Structure 1
Amino acid sequence: MSLALQPFVGDDAARAVHGYDAGAAAYLLARPGQGAGEPSGPDLTPWHELSLRPVVVTAADAAEALAEVAAAASPDEALVLVAPGLRIATAALLDQLDRPGEATTVATIEGTALQGDPHEPTDFTILRIDRDQRLVHSVGTARQTVSDPTNVAAGVLRVAAADVPEALRLWREAAESPVARDADVDPFDLALLALVRGGVRVGTLPLGPFDVDRGSSTALGSHGSPWQQRLRGASRGGDGFFSTFCIRPLSRRLTGFGLGHDWSPNVVTLTSLGLGLVAAGLAAVDNRWTWVAAAVLLITALVVDCVDGEIARFRRKFSALGAWLDAVGDRVKEYSLIAAVAWVGVARGEDTWWLAVLALVLVTTRHLEDYAYFDRIRSTRAHVTPDLLPVDAPHDLGDAGSRTTLPPRQTRRQRVVFWTKKVMHLPIAERYLLLAIGLLTFEPLVLLWLIVVAVAIALVWTQGGRTAKALLGVDGFRPSPSVLAGQWGDMDHQADLGPVARVAGRVLRAPMPVAFVGALVVLAAGVTAARDGRAVLVVALVVVGVLLVGFACRPPLRDRLAWQLSSVLWLTEAGLVTGLAWHLDSPRRWVVFAYLAAVAWHRYDVVYRLRDTGLPAAPWVTLVTLGTDGRMVLLAVLWAVGVPLEPVLGWGALALIVVYAAESASAWLTWARGRRAQPVAGKVAT
């Protein structure tokens, strides 16, 4: 089926309704005199177009409305609750009501989208949400205030089938409360308040840049029709400055064309990867014009790389293959270009491989630290729960002197500071821009130094501030309560420790700082090897360092500095490999880059899998590849007994990437099959 709207964006297939919640009831709350068919009554069109069953609930007050919904709703299927006076386009509802999902969610709007003074009352529901957990923590009504509110609810609540029995019970209780008889209390607000204060986890789903009216209040979206607004909302949020203001405007134009020609997101991803590899191939040719073409193709690949996600989000169709390709493709393009530039530099007689290795190491460190820190923040704030209170309580659990109105709009100075910090983090679009600028100089050393210095500044910026907060204890850190003794958390998986370190951890337990001392000992071994030190000393230092790391890293990693471990161990392995291979001739140093690129690819893959699927790499992978500790010991021993490192690193890189890629592809496919086998909320699997 397709929506009977003008084809502003895409074809019928792109705008089709999938029917995930088809047949579920949508309860449209209305004030007296606002029944179906009345001029001021609710519009039934969006709900019919979504294949839902619209049920208009006209009641004198919130008590009567909640009681009627609780009596009419089926406890066995998902339901949708719609606020009185809501006017919204069908296209705005698709992400919440027409995609796979098993969670209870409410559509939210940024306060900055509201018309008028944010300090004035609004007909939208005032909320405080936790952006890390993506949960509603406090809800306001005409009689309940919210401390430090952050957003508003548009007026659409989807209650998952699993939560419906509890929701109906809470609504029956709320209908008996005195506040439910207050004529000023909106029944939608009270229904949402009852769920949150009653302990039902209500997730937040940002509505996007759509026009929404509720009562006399209005939230303005982007320009154009609802479908054009949907295309604008298909752009991923949180991008950097260059992506937001330069790349995404171009990608959306291409996405609009692709939606009308049935482009496959996976094909688009492969196209972006192909363009990036062609750019690297052109950069490997020592010719000014091929470098100019490579710069153009690199930015083109970045634009195309945005299109696959935009198409998938617009259509609400996602695949495990697409997620995997998108996750690994960016690194392949980036590493390939850096390697191609280093190759040209060596051909010119410049010593560029070590600089390329440094760029690879810094870029990977920057990302590992970033992802691990977000895991840390998530565990730190996991103890923060929604405000569980009786429905009649006039205030939530916030401080008495807290702000009770929406935050003011950003000033110009605040916007400048915000985007400056974004640029300082050096996201992917900014790095690609630097690579393209470097290509236009036609100087390998300039390009490599440009990326090295920029990433180093970004790393100091992020690591410095976060480490200072952690050491001073001002970041509110608390270990994750969900990870029990002996269990592995995300940080344990990101550490990539193998059998040697794990066995050592069972023999002796040491505090986390010992792991960092062990890393320094291994790095000392690398320096010793680079200075023609004694082989026995190098091996001894590596073994001692690895054991120290193992002593301090017994699962689960819950120390306040544990988030640093994955990047520290990566730097340690990179430093040791570089030291052992220090005396290789300049043209043969490519094997160091290749070996470390294979390891880095795996580390990225583990992070992406944990983030997107919640599943780590298979345990046998660290056994076969020895983990970072086992690889360091093996390389040190081989170097000490005189085995040439060039073939060891070259063939080792090939073996590692084959194992890593094969296991990763298999794991993503297995995860996808498992998702397809799960029943969709509100429907019975057949």
Structure 2
Amino acid sequence: MPDSLIRESTTTSAVLLATTPASKFVCADGTLLDRVSDQLASLPIREILILNAGGGLGADLRGVAKVARTATGVVAVLPADLVAHTEALALLLDHPARDTGALVSHDVSAAPLRPPVRVEHGRIVAAGSSFHVVPEANASFRGVLQAGEADLAALADIAEELAELADTGKLGPVTPVETVDLLLVGLVRSGVKVRAAAIGPLHADRVTGQLDTDAAVSRLDEVDEAKVRLDTSVKSEDGFFATFLVSTWTRHLIRPAALLKLTPNTVTGISIGLATLSAVWFSAGTLPGRLAGAALLYLSFALDCLDGQLARYTRTFSPLGAWADGMADRLKEYLVYVGLAFGYGEAGIWYLAVAAMILQVVRHSVDFAYAGSVADSARIGALWGRPARSLLEPADAGRAHGVLGLAQRMERGTAARWLKKIIVLPIGERMALIAVTAVGWNARVTFLSLLCWGGVAALYQLAGRIVRSAR
């Protein structure tokens, strides 16, 4: 029977698998089981369920299934033979999205208890075990799995199916050590979207002996967890302008903002105020006014980056906050359009301003409509479909082909990846385009540039949506 520790603050339950001998290895904090339990207690985990009955792989899987059937919130599953930074665990277990995910490392060097996975666009698309093969793996699973509330039924079904296969010997000589690995394989192959929570330079390793334990614990001191938390607050996949000309210095404002107890919404509000002042200066129409407007627009965008960085650092972001931030971006951009049009002073400029505004509205409508349709189709598929892949299939065959496959392969090249990001004219590139053309030329050139580059970006995005939908 599982032991349990209960905290009332959240609705996350953690299933700690202590059914292998490695969980009893000792460290400075007691046994590894004690150490992991203490780490979980420091995170927003309501209930820690310790499975230590030792009834074999099938029993462990059924224990997980029982928890998933009765849980009323997120369920995390992890082994007690894990030596990890607390910050690494927090990347998944303290993430406000509270979705289905797994802890991974992009270090794919061979080592025991590091099953291979393949990650594409931040999601795990193929996962392996001693029975399941993953060609072209680009990451490794580090033993921590979380199922969002919407995927608990799928987790329970998969755990029960795997238990049956294990009991009948159809999975080969697998052992309880692979419980969490097999659950990840099952979730991925059933079509559940599993977010890849990358640990970066942090450590998370499962151990097989006392010497491994001592070495793994000593490696933890080699990494500054506070610095890693700051680094991971800055988007690694942002636009070119935001990455190289903004985030390089706004990252130094994150800790001061947190110490001042500024909320991301407060920073967003200041950003809106700066954009409003920018529009006022642009409306003057003079060169000094355009220079001041461009400078304020740049600072406004910098704060727009900072609010997201602060939200990630403090782990206070939410879907509502992300929506409000997106709406603020549109408001700031259109205020600047109005200011530029006033400053130009000719009636005909308003046609170009309105056309540029309509183009951006259409582009964002396409993005949001496509994202909504993908979410709807995923829900319908989950209701009507059976698991997309057999749990007994040992090889992976889920690669994209044709144009979509070519696009995915292009993203592996640094230059091609950045070129794609620039082509779609994200918000950072638009702000830079507005500032440079407004100062160097005039509002007419600004709106024509937005229409030309924005039109190319719209066609590029539309083609990509059609190809992905066709697939």
Interval of TM-score (by shorter of Structure 1 and Structure 2): 0.7 to 0.9
Does the alignment pair 1:109 with 2:100? no
Paired position in structure 1 for 2:261: 262
Partners of 1:319 and 1:183 in 2: CA distance: 39
Paired position in structure 1 for 2:247: 248
Would you say the 8 A contact 2:19–2:176 is kept in 1? no
Would you say the 8 A contact 1:26–1:47 is kept in 2? no
Paired position in structure 2 for 1:557: none
Paired position in structure 2 for 1:360: 357
Would you say the 8 A contact 1:138–1:193 is kept in 2? yes
Would you say the 8 A contact 2:14–2:76 is kept in 1? yes
Paired position in structure 2 for 1:55: 50
CA drift of 1:82 comes to 1.2
Q: Match for 2:132: what amino acid?
A: Q
Task: Work out which of the residue numbers 190, 194, 206 in structure 1 matches 2:182.
Answer: 190
Partners of 1:242 and 1:21 in 2: CA distance: 39
Paired position in structure 2 for 1:94: 90
Does the alignment pair 1:309 with 2:308? yes
1:20-77 Cα offsets, whole Å, 9 max, x none, are 246x344144642441535784532422312553737495964565467678999446
Paired position in structure 2 for 1:627: none
Say if 1:214 and 1:306 are closer, same or farther in 2 by CA, change over 3 A.
same
Partners of 2:205 and 2:186 in 1: CA distance: 21
Would you say the 8 A contact 2:143–2:206 is kept in 1? no
Q: Match for 1:333: what amino acid?
A: K
Paired position in structure 2 for 1:27: 16
Query: How do residues 351-430 of structure 1 correspond to structure 2 at under 5 angstroms?
Result: 351-375=348-372, 386-389=387-390, 391=391, 393-395=392-394, 398=397, 414-430=413-429
Partners of 1:200 and 1:373 in 2: CA distance: 19
For residue 130 of structure 2, give the secondary structure of its aligned residue in structure 1: coil
Would you say the 8 A contact 1:282–1:290 is kept in 2? yes
Paired position in structure 2 for 1:651: none
Unaligned stretches of 5+ residues in structure 2: 1-6, 402-407
Partners of 2:452 and 2:398 in 1: CA distance: 44
CA drift of 1:264 comes to 1.7
Does the alignment pair 1:278 with 2:274? no
Q: Match for 1:20: what amino acid?
A: T
For residue 413 of structure 2, give the secondary structure of its aligned residue in structure 1: helix
Query: How do residues 541-556 of structure 1 correspond to structure 2 at under 5 angstroms?
Result: none
Say if 1:476 and 1:48 are closer, same or farther in 2 by CA, change over 3 A.
closer
Would you say the 8 A contact 1:250–1:303 is kept in 2? no
* Aligned length in residues: 433
Paired position in structure 2 for 1:173: 164
Partners of 2:63 and 2:455 in 1: CA distance: 61
Does the alignment pair 1:123 with 2:119? no
Say if 1:102 and 1:418 are closer, same or farther in 2 by CA, change over 3 A.
closer
Q: Match for 1:280: what amino acid?
A: A
Task: Work out which of the residue numbers 120, 143, 168 in structure 2 matches 1:155.
Answer: 143
CA drift of 1:143 comes to 1.9
Query: How do residues 362-511 of structure 1 correspond to structure 2 at under 5 angstroms?
Result: 362-375=359-372, 386-389=387-390, 391=391, 393-395=392-394, 398=397, 414-441=413-440, 443-463=442-462, 465-466=463-464, 470=466, 477=470
Partners of 2:398 and 2:314 in 1: CA distance: 43
Paired position in structure 2 for 1:37: 26
1:522-559 Cα offsets, whole Å, 9 max, x none, are xxxxxxxxxxxxxxxxxxxxxxxxxxxxxxxxxxxxxx
Partners of 2:331 and 2:71 in 1: CA distance: 47
CA drift of 1:129 comes to 6.4
Would you say the 8 A contact 2:133–2:395 is kept in 1? yes
Partners of 2:176 and 2:71 in 1: CA distance: 32
For residue 470 of structure 2, give the secondary structure of its aligned residue in structure 1: coil
Q: Match for 2:197: what amino acid?
A: P
1:334-374 Cα offsets, whole Å, 9 max, x none, are 1121221121211xx58422222232233333333344444
Paired position in structure 1 for 2:340: 341
For residue 186 of structure 1, give the secondary structure of its aligned residue in structure 2: helix
Paired position in structure 2 for 1:225: 224
Paired position in structure 1 for 2:405: none
Partners of 2:71 and 2:354 in 1: CA distance: 58
- Give 1 or 2: higher strand fraction: 2
Partners of 2:159 and 2:411 in 1: CA distance: 46
Say if 1:101 and 1:37 are closer, same or farther in 2 by CA, change over 3 A.
same
Partners of 2:386 and 2:120 in 1: CA distance: 9
CA drift of 1:424 comes to 0.6
Query: How do residues 48-87 of structure 1 correspond to structure 2 at under 5 angstroms?
Result: 48-50=41-43, 51=45, 53=48, 55=50, 57=52, 62-63=57-58, 65-66=60-61, 75-76=70-71, 79-83=75-79, 85-87=81-83
Q: Match for 1:336: what amino acid?
A: L
Say if 1:194 and 1:441 are closer, same or farther in 2 by CA, change over 3 A.
closer
Q: Match for 2:226: what amino acid?
A: W
Say if 1:265 and 1:155 are closer, same or farther in 2 by CA, change over 3 A.
same
Would you say the 8 A contact 1:240–1:422 is kept in 2? yes
Does the alignment pair 1:204 with 2:192? no
1:377-426 Cα offsets, whole Å, 9 max, x none, are 6677876975443x5x25257279x9xxxxxx989982101111110111
Would you say the 8 A contact 1:124–1:153 is kept in 2? yes
Would you say the 8 A contact 2:102–2:141 is kept in 1? yes
Aligned residues with identical type, % of pairs: 24
Q: Match for 1:145: what amino acid?
A: V
CA drift of 1:295 comes to 1.1
Q: Match for 1:267: what amino acid?
A: T
1:555-608 Cα offsets, whole Å, 9 max, x none, are xxxxxxxxxxxxxxxxxxxxxxxxxxxxxxxxxxxxxxxxxxxxxxxxxxxxxx
Q: Match for 1:48: what amino acid?
A: A
Say if 1:205 and 1:36 are closer, same or farther in 2 by CA, change over 3 A.
same
1:272-304 Cα offsets, whole Å, 9 max, x none, are 101000011111113322221211111111111
Q: In angstroms, what is the RMSD of aligned CA positions?
A: 4.3
Partners of 2:322 and 2:68 in 1: CA distance: 37
